[in-house]
Structure 1
Amino acid sequence: MGKIRHVNFHPDEWLVGASVLKADERGCYITVCALIYSNGGPIRDDARDLAKLCNITQEKWARIRGVLLAKGKLRLVDSLLTNGRCEIELEKALNRTTTARKTGTTGGQNSAISRQKRGHVSNDNSNLIEADASGDRKLTTNHKPQTKSLPQTPDGGSNVEAEFDRWYQAYPKRVAKGQAEKAYRIARKTVDADTLLRAVEAYARAVAGKDAKYTPNPATWLNGQRWLDDGLLQGSQRTGNRQASTLNEIPLFFEGPTEVQRPQADPRTNPQWRDY
């Protein structure tokens, strides 16, 4: 696999998540995230190297590292530093690269097959025309062979729309429905509808009566794979196309206070903010 050159970055979610950090902590945090992206996964917890890359002393790095670990921005796994959101975006980037590579290969094969078929059709038509001229056969035009319906992917068709509607009605905060549906279709590629519905119902019960401003938008909940949260669905109740790994359950970098103290972030004056 080649080096991942591009990952998605969501600035508003970053600003909300990093609002609890001081300026020097933010600088080190974004540097470590960039190193994780560049490395394609977790990085070594090497104080000397990381202090040098952040352009600070080892003593200052030790303090900032402690803050980032304590606030859940980074996690130490087997002497490696990692971040849950970085892992998710790296996996998405790998899937995009794999899909593009397969599409390119399949497209080339299909083009070759199509050219061969056009050549065969041309020869067949010539034979038909010659037969028609001799009076033995008649040329049939506008013939369309029967086609078979292709099976729908897990995220396509009317079924997933009905599944999403049930899930959306169960979510405790119904905003940005269009973005939520896109995130739901992506999630359905890795987990079944029943798991998503049971998880959101359990989450709705968990946050009932709490301040709604701390409830993430439905798209954020789905993109963060929050159905894998500890205690939400226990043990064998979790089903889907893959099991949760330790890194999938690492807190995302945008988890934390969801309210940023800036006038332009007020939903009453800037409705677009409600999309994040």
Structure 2
Amino acid sequence: MTGQKVRHINFHPDELLAAVAGELSPEELGVYWMICTLIYSRRKAIPNDLEWLRGKFKRGLHLRSLGAIVDGLISSGRVIEEGGELMVSRCRTELERASERALNNKRNGSKGGRPTNKNNGLENPHGYSDQNLTSNQEPVTINQEPDSAAQQERTRKDWLYRTEPDTTEPTDPAEAVVWDFDSLVVELFGAASQRISRNSLDITFARKWLDGGVSRETLRGMFRAALANRKAAGQGPVAALSYFDKRVGDMLAVAKVPAGDVGVRHSRQQGNGFVALLQEMEGE
């Protein structure tokens, strides 16, 4: 995401409060917001370089303390580490939206603005010459098939960046896993905790887990157990599915099942180590 520097980013205070209020310490929130601001300023992911990041704060911040905060933000899913860089899903969303706004403004500007509203010195409120209009004029049509790739991308963005809660269960298996997570958040924490815009990597993680042989039912059970544990501890829901990636990897590693369903009943037969891990997730 490169190009013209972003001068304006939409800010949604209620969504930020729902995600971090009561969840982050003042230090954690400061680091999180600095990471977001740097991403917006650079219009792309920032390097996961603690020395560089520490230079953005007042002198005296210990590198070890900063590292612990960044690690905590990553493990909670609020910050995503990608190839040695840090990204925040919501920042990616808002940068994409800002780029679309800038592109639309550029396109509109290249058209020269609205046509003149005068015709031979007379006012024409519609800005078009009456000589060019007839009562039997045929509508302009374009006999062109829609771009399937562009349509799919629009559909994906509509699903990710929805403007209201989604109550319809999707048919795509990976989207259904994400939908399960969002439904459980509402069930356990209330409608006020409903995510509006989804993390853009949620589907990627869900599809990876499904392709690895983990069933939707197992994932839903893991989501429920982890969210219930957080609620019992007085914590809020996690921000993204990346929070569960290590747990799913541990399940597959301990179970030693490279493919096929890794359901709860089957997995309990794989050894005490896996049972302990599963019991921890279920809060037993």
Does the aligned pair in 2 maintain the 1:180–1:218 contact within 8 Å? no
SS in structure 2 of the partner of residue 76 of structure 1? strand
Shift in alpha-carbon separation, 1:149–1:83, aligned structure 2, 3 A: same
The answer to whether structure 1 residue 146 and structure 2 residue 138 are counterparts is: yes
Deviation, 1:32, is 0.9
Alpha-carbon shift at residue 213 of structure 1 (Å): 2.9
Check conservation: 1:75, 1:81, Cα contact below 8 A.
yes
Match in the other structure for 1:74: 79
Offset from partner CA, 1:144-183 (integer Å, 9 cap, x none)? 42223679999xxxxxxxx9xxxx9xxxxxxxx98348xx
Match of 2:195 among 212, 220, 225: 220
Q: 2:108 aligns with which of 86, 103, 112?
A: 103
Corresponding letter in the other structure for 1:17: A
Residue type matched to 1:57 in 2?
A: L
Matches within 5 A, 1:86-97: 86-97=91-102
- 1:23-47 deviations in whole A, cap 9, x for unaligned? 1111111111111111101012222
Conserved? CA contact 1:17–1:258, under 8 Å: no
SS in 1 for 2:164: helix
What RMSD in Å do the two structures reach over aligned CA positions?
4.9
Matched, 1:57 2:71: no
Gaps of 5+ in 2: 121-126, 148-154, 212-228, 235-284
Identity of counterpart residues, as a percentage? 19
Alignment partner, residue 18 of structure 2 = 16
CA distance 1:206–1:43, shift in 2 (3 Å): closer
Partner of 1:230, secondary structure, is helix
Tell me the residue number matched to 1:5.
7
In the superposition, relative to structure 1, how do residues 205 and 67 fare at CA in structure 2: closer, same or farther (>3 Å)? Answer: closer
Match of 2:164 in 1: 179
Say which SS state the counterpart of residue 63 (structure 1) adopts.
helix
Distance 1:203 1:50, change over 3 A: closer
Q: How does 1:247-266 map to 2 (within 5 A)?
A: none
Structure 1's 212 and 226: CA in aligned 2 closer, same or farther, altered over 3 A? Answer: farther
Post-superposition offset of 1:221: 5.1
Distance 1:118 1:57, change over 3 A: closer
Matches of 2:200 and 2:191 in 1, distance apart? 12
**Contact 2:177–2:206 (8 Å) recurs in 1:** no
Structure 2 partner of 1:31? 34
Higher relative contact order (CA 8 A, sep 6+): 1
- SS state at 1:146 partner: coil
| 1:196–1:227 contact (8 Å) kept in structure 2 | no
Counterparts in 2 of 1:197 and 1:57: CA distance versus 1, 3 Å: same
Change (3 A) 1:205 1:91: closer
Counterpart in 1 of 2:205? 230
Structure exhibiting the larger radius of gyration computed from Cα positions: 1
Relative to the length of structure 2, the TM-score reads: 0.50
Distance 1:148 1:27 in 2: 55
Tell me the amino acid that sits aligned with residue 179 of structure 1: E
> C-alpha displacement at 1:119, in angstroms?
6.9
Q: Is the contact between residue 42 and residue 80 of structure 1 (CA under 8 Å) also seen in structure 2?
A: yes
Alpha-carbon distance between aligned partners in 1 of 2:198 and 2:104, rounded to the nearest angstrom: 19
Q: For residues 147 and 258 of structure 1, do their structure 2 counterparts lie closer, same or farther at Cα, with a shift above 3 Å needed?
A: farther
Answer whether contact 1:16 1:257 (CA < 8 A) is retained: no
Whole-Å separation in 1 of the counterparts to 2:170 and 2:193:
12
TM-score by length of 1: 0.51
Q: 1:121: which partner in 2?
A: 131
Q: How far off its partner does 1:20 sit?
A: 1.9
Alpha-carbon offset, residue 66 of structure 1? 2.1
The letter of the residue matching 2:187 is A
Partner residue in 1 for 2:124? none
The corresponding residue for 1:253 is none
